[in-house]
Amino acid sequence: MNDRWTPVIDDLRERFAADTDVVEVEAYLSSQGYDRRQIGEILSLLYSDTAPPRGSGGSVMSRNGPLRVQGPHERGRFTAEAWGYLVTLGGSGAVNLNDFEQLVERALVHIDGRINLADIRGIAEDVGFDDGAMDGERSQVH
């Protein structure tokens, strides 16, 4: 996790209950002057297992079977199959949390429009996480 967001995440955890609607948190962040990209990044960290627990001083806590929730900026981009594939890679232990985030970020940056299964498998194969994609299934990623 980026250490610059640690104080923001800690503040949000103090202000809002865990079951608070994301729209309320989003509105609060907007009122504090954060732009959409920053809000997406903050919410992604807040609702993911890569965010440090309250009072941890920025250290990442490891847990068995982490669940990665899509941030608002990711929801419309990944098809269900592509996201399911990423979750499967993470759940199987083929990729750790940092590698998972790198795959997500790479897909968001390099692919325009919806990210489908062939796109994400191509990226995973390019970086060495998936050798099972057949050449016919892969799309060209720049």
CA-based Rg of the chain, rounded to a whole angstrom? 16
96 assigned to some structural domain: yes
Helix (H, G, I), strand (E, B) or coil at 97: helix
Which domain covers residue 85, as residue numbers?
Answer: 72-127
136 within domain boundaries: no
Q: Per-residue pLDDT tens for 17-60?
A: 877 878 888 889 989 999 888 888 888 788 764 444 444 444 33
Residue 133 lies in a domain: no
Q: Which amino acid is at 57?
A: G
The answer to whether residue 19 is domain-embedded is: yes
Write down the pTM of the prediction.
0.47
* Co-location of 77 and 43 in the same domain: no
pLDDT in tens, 69-107: 788 888 889 888 888 888 888 777 778 888 888 899 999
Does some domain include residue 13? yes
Of 24, 64, 79, nearest in space to 46 by CA: 24
Is the domain of 87 the same as that of 121?
Answer: yes
Amino acid at 87: V
Sequence-distant (≥ 6) Cβ neighbours of residue 62 within 8 angstroms: none
For residue 118, which of 97, 102, 105, 132 has the smallest C-alpha distance? 132
Contact at 8 Å (CB) between 26 and 39?
yes
* 134-135-137 Cα angle (round to 5): 70
